[in-house]
Each structure stands twice: as structure tokens, then as C-alpha cells.
Structure 1
Amino acid sequence: FLKTNRPRMGRGKRNKEVKSNLTDNESAKMTTSKGTIQGYNGVATVDKKHQIIIDAQAFGEGQEHHTLQPVLESVEARFRKLGIADNIYEQGAIVTADTGFANEANMKYLHERQINGYVPDNKFRSRDPKFQNQKDKYGKRHQNQPATGRKNIIPAGEFQFDPVNLTCICPAGNAISYQSTREAENGKIRVHFEGRLLQCRHCPKKHQCMQNPTSANHRKGSGRQVSFTIENKRLPNYTDWMKHRVDSPQGKEIYSHRMSVVEPVFGNIGTNKGLNRFSLRGKKKVQGQWQLYCLVHNIEKLANYGRMAA
């Protein structure tokens, strides 16, 4: 495998090499409600009117945002091959996708292709006045569970941050290492620092400064990590364009239907059909298994509603 394959690069914001699994090189680590597992993402495109799956693909990537473009192109090619439409997106098709598909590259693709799409960022609820009292009315999630992590540690505000030279001095007087400058989900630029391992290990303020002081005790651990927001005078981007679309009355009305369109389909396949995890290895086999279950879903829809008037 090492002789015939190049290093596999991740699809996240930091383009770094990721490890290949020994038993299934095409799979990836997935963060789920049951922890981190090795597997695939099953992506399905669903018709709003009849809940028919018109495209189903499996991707062995931890991030799903990069799958939007190949899925939309596959749908376009399928409708053209069937003679339904040369370009389904130019004939009034509306595309909605959840926040997992929101990034700048996808927004740019939708804009340049002139696709009538609505893909909200993960902050769109907080901008909606309808949800401003949601936490007061329903409470916070897991509010009765014991809190994790340590409170009352030394805050980042007590670190001496120089935004010009990108340096940082910790409360103990030690310079900590610059790590990276990245754009956060809200579009702001944040600068990240991390304390040197040996300095944090022997620092007298370690127990007041670190969430997990023992992480500095072994060689593969890490020191105190802090980040700071810097002034970001940027021009409007494609994400801003999508925010205006999603926040508009029309956008809210269109996107409100996504939950009732696609989630029942996944519920039917996962709960009624019993596909709660792929049981094969290799992308080709996994995709076959995923498409087979989607085919059974479509057959069931056609059997129950196929004679209804269009």
C-alpha cells in the first residue's frame, strides 16, 4: 500500500496528512454521538415531493462539506442521462443542505454555477429572532449533568499578546510558541499559541493555568493553549452572500422544509431497515451496500404511492 499510494491529505481547514487505516485504507475516522468510529459517510439526495432518493454515495472522509459538489454534479448528470433536463438547476430546482456542508468553497461553487441553494452556517439560529428565547424556554442541553473540565483557571486575558509581532507571554513570564492563524466559523481571525512542554511541566502555576495539568507530564502531551481574536478587515465573501439568502424570509421558509424531507428517509433506512452502521470494507462495497438500502427505500415508495397522480 505504501509503495503504490501517495500520502492522504485531510479535507479540513488545515491541509495535513491523515493516517490510513490498516484494514480499510479508504475509510476515515468519524465523530458520532457514540464516539469516534472508523467508517464512511452515507450521503443521500432526496426529492421533496415524494421522498425518492435520486442520488446516494458513500464517502470515506471525516468531513462532509467537500461532498456537496460531486453530489450535485452526479444529480445533474443523472437527470441529463434520463432525458429529464439538460441542466436541472437552470429549470427551477432548489437545493438545501445542512450546516455540515457550509464552507466558503461550496458557497462560491453555488454562486458561480447560479444554483438556487440554501446552506446555512452553524450560527444561523442565533441570528433568528424566533430562537432568541429558546434557551430560557427549554433550558440548556445536558444542564443536569455534572460539568466537565476545571473552572477558575487563569484566563487568556492575563497573557500578554502582541498582535503585531504575533508573540505571547504567559503569566509566569515565559514566551509561548506561536502555532497558527486561522479563520474561525464566525469569520473572525484567531491566533493560536501553545506553551512549551518543558516550561509548562515545571511551571509553579501549572495547576492554576491548565485545564488538564497532567497533560504536560508526558512527552506526547501539550502545554497551555490560548487563542486571541485579531482585527479582521476583510471584504464580503461568498459565505456572507449565503447568510443573506438563508436569513431572508424566503430562505427561512424554504430551508424549514429540509428537516421533513430528508430526515424521515434516514430514519426509515436506519431504524426500520436496520442500517445503523456499514458492515463491509472498501469504498466500492460500502457504496454498494448504501445504494442497495436506498434502492429498497425507493421500491417501497413506488409500491405504496406509485399509482398516485403526479
Structure 2
Amino acid sequence: LGHELFAIDGCKMRSNAAKEWSGTFKELEQKRQKLKRLISYHLTEHQKKDSWESEEELDRAIRQVKTILTLDKAANKIDKFLKHNEPRLGKGKRSNEVKSNITDNQSAKMTTSKGTIQGYNGVASVDKKHQIIIDAQAFGEGQEHHTLQPVLETIQERYKRLGISKNLYEEGIIVTADTGFANEANMQYLHENNINAYIPDNQFRSRDPKFAHQKEKYGKRHQTSGKSKAKQLIPASEFQFDPITMTCICPAGQTISSRGTRNNPQGQPTAYFEGRLLQCRHCPKKHQCMKTPSAADHRKGAGRQVSFPLNGKRAANYTDWMKHRVDNPLGK
């Protein structure tokens, strides 16, 4: 171990569970009711026939019984889960209910470069000198933000338990991680605990002159030939935002709903608005306004969303502190 620099990164891995068995408690209850209706239907069809005259009819009856047993087993599985478990809450700013999984409720549905999987985010920490893994944990959350603090605390506790270091981070060891770990709460934790970390935000390249001509030289990232250009939507600038009354009128003349004011990822106070489903569903401009117009046709969908940064210079925050560290010559 070099005790000079630790690098932290995550890798999403499949669990031994099917994503089809995932859902909120409301969705699982709906699935259970659907299974019960199917069981009732097959039982009714089965009971209509008192006798089976041919071998073909007998085979059909046997398959029907097997179907009923399979559906009954699935319905009982959901029923047992709902009775003995509580809804699972997310770990973001707004702790809304997230999808549970009947087979493996510690795993989570997460998006990867190869599609959506049911699995874990495996986060490994590596010592620079000989690439030795000093910590590896699995988290049932797709986002990496909340994993940084428990990972750093686990490493600290392990080094203390093994007698390597009483306070690892006081020795000035550098900690690096990618933009997936960057948020205001993590920057505050690093600052308050005097951890010598460098975690770039997702805009750090745009501030570095060395990257100014990167697109001209190499082209845009993830560029694929043959694909059509991205759909040009009606910009937020065409929405009439009134910061005094906190109202917003869309290009079709409809007043859309306020979703409150909160800080954006850059820490700037921002007002958020969203069109109501019925407004967007029947709007003649929805194909020019929405990236996915069909989202407004579904009862669980959403209307057009826009946000507006509020005027007034915000106070400096911990993300600004990290930006300064990453942008200075030593950080680079």
C-alpha cells in the first residue's frame, strides 16, 4: 500500500432477481389483483367443462390446471411480500417510495449503458501504488452520490482496526472519484472532515481551456453516424415566467403547475414548473414541445417540464470550494 492516493469508482452488476418482480407497493397490489382475476377466469373456464371426451381436451384441461397453480403461486408470493415488508424509500433529497423487488429487496432497478437491470452498484476503492483494492461494497441504489460517505468511513474504520492508521485522512491521503459522486452534501462532508479529495463536477471540462478544441479534433462524445439529429424542442425562453407571482404560461397560453423552488445541481435557486397531463395531452403543440409526446397519454406520465434560475447571486457553497480545487494547477 502506498498510502498516497485512493481512487473510488462504481460498476453496476445484475443481481439474481428479475426486474419484472419490481414495483412500488401500489403497483404490486395491482399486479396481485390482476393475477387473481386471471385465476378466476381460468377456474370459470375449467369448471364449465364437466367431462373431457377426447385426449386433446384432456391435455388442454391439464395445461389449464397448471396455469391456475402457477398464477396462484405468483399471487401468494406477492401477498406474502406485501404483508411482511414496508415500502422502500429512496435516499435523495425527497425520500419518495422507490420500487421494491419481491425476490431480492436489497437490489434495485438501475439504468446502465446496456439497458435497465435489477442489481447492485458495486463500489470499489483502490490504492494507487499497486492497484490493491482496499474496500468493495455493494449498494442497492443506481445513484452513487450517497455511497461516498459510507465508503470513506469503512476505509477509515478498517485501517484503524488493522493498526495501520488511527486517523487515515489526517495524513493528507488524496481521494479521487468521478462526477457520479459529486453533489453538495458530499462536498460539505469532505470539507467538514478535512479530507483531501478531488471530485470534479460535470462541467469541469467546459472551464478548462485544454478541452476547448476537443470536439473539433475528436468530434462529440457518443457520436454515431447515420442517426438523425436530436429533436429541437420549444425552448424554455418561449415560456412566460413571472418571478413575482411565481407563475408560468406555456406557448399554448396555458398556465402550468409550479413544482416549487429548490437549488439546482450547481447550487443556484431555481423555479420548476410542469404542465398538467390533460393540458399537454390535448395540446396542438405537444409534438414540438415535448421530447416524448406519448408520455402525456399515460396516466403515470408527465407533461412538459421547464425550470428558470432565479435572479440574485447565490452564496458560495461547498461545490464552489471543490470547483476551485479541481480547476487549480495542482488539482488538474
Could you say whether these structures have the same fold, taking a TM-score greater than 0.5 normalized by the shorter chain as the test? Answer: yes
Aligned to 2:191: 111
Aligned to 2:311: 231
1:144 aligns with 2:225: yes
Instruction: Tell me the distance in 1 between the aligned counterparts of 2:326 and 2:270.
Output: 25
Does structure 2 retain, via aligned residues, the 8 Å contact 1:8–1:17? yes
Give secondary structure in 1 for the equivalent of 2:154. Answer: helix
Instruction: Tell me the distance in 2 between the aligned counterparts of 1:65 and 1:211.
Output: 27
* Displacement of 1:227: 2.1
Instruction: Tell me the distance in 2 between the aligned counterparts of 1:186 and 1:56.
Output: 30
1:22 aligns with 2:102: yes
Instruction: Tell me the TM-score normalised to structure 1 length.
Output: 0.75
1:82 aligns with 2:165: no
Shift in alpha-carbon separation, 1:180–1:37, aligned structure 2, 3 A: farther
Does structure 2 retain, via aligned residues, the 8 Å contact 1:12–1:63? no
* Displacement of 1:135: 0.6
Instruction: Tell me the distance in 2 between the aligned counterparts of 1:232 and 1:32.
Output: 38
Give secondary structure in 1 for the equivalent of 2:88. Answer: coil
Aligned to 1:213: 293
Give secondary structure in 2 for the equivalent of 1:61. Answer: coil
* Displacement of 1:199: 2.3
One-letter amino acid of the structure 1 residue matched with residue 231 of structure 2: R
Give secondary structure in 1 for the equivalent of 2:98. Answer: coil
Tell me whether 214-223 or 44-53 shows the greater mean CA deviation.
Answer: 214-223
One-letter amino acid of the structure 2 residue matched with residue 71 of structure 1: V
Shift in alpha-carbon separation, 1:241–1:170, aligned structure 2, 3 A: same
Residues 83-124 of structure 1, C-alpha deviations (whole Å, 9 max, x = no match)? 111111112321111111111111111111111111111111
Shift in alpha-carbon separation, 1:162–1:40, aligned structure 2, 3 A: same
One-letter amino acid of the structure 2 residue matched with residue 147 of structure 1: S
Shift in alpha-carbon separation, 1:50–1:185, aligned structure 2, 3 A: same
Instruction: Tell me the distance in 2 between the aligned counterparts of 1:119 and 1:222.
Output: 33
Tell me whether 207-216 or 130-139 shows the greater mean CA deviation.
Answer: 207-216
Among candidates 189, 205, 213, match of residue 133 of structure 1:
213
1:101 aligns with 2:168: no
Shift in alpha-carbon separation, 1:92–1:169, aligned structure 2, 3 A: closer
* Displacement of 1:4: 4.9
* Displacement of 1:52: 0.7
Aligned to 1:58: 138
1:12 aligns with 2:81: no
Instruction: Tell me the TM-score normalised to structure 2 length.
Output: 0.70
Shift in alpha-carbon separation, 1:137–1:86, aligned structure 2, 3 A: same
User: Which has the higher relative contact order, 1 or 2, with Cα contacts under 8 A spaced 6 or more apart?
Assistant: 1
Shift in alpha-carbon separation, 1:164–1:4, aligned structure 2, 3 A: farther
Two-structure CA RMSD over aligned residues (Å): 2.0
| Number of residue pairs matched by the alignment | 251
1:122 aligns with 2:236: no
Residues 163-216 of structure 1, C-alpha deviations (whole Å, 9 max, x = no match)? 122111122222111123333233333322222222222233333433333333
Unaligned runs of 5+ in 1: 253-310
One-letter amino acid of the structure 2 residue matched with residue 32 of structure 1: T
Instruction: Tell me the distance in 2 between the aligned counterparts of 1:212 and 1:73.
Output: 42
Unaligned runs of 5+ in 2: 1-80
* Displacement of 1:136: 0.9
* Higher-strand-fraction structure: 2
Question: Percent identical across equivalent pairs?
Answer: 71
Aligned to 1:172: 252
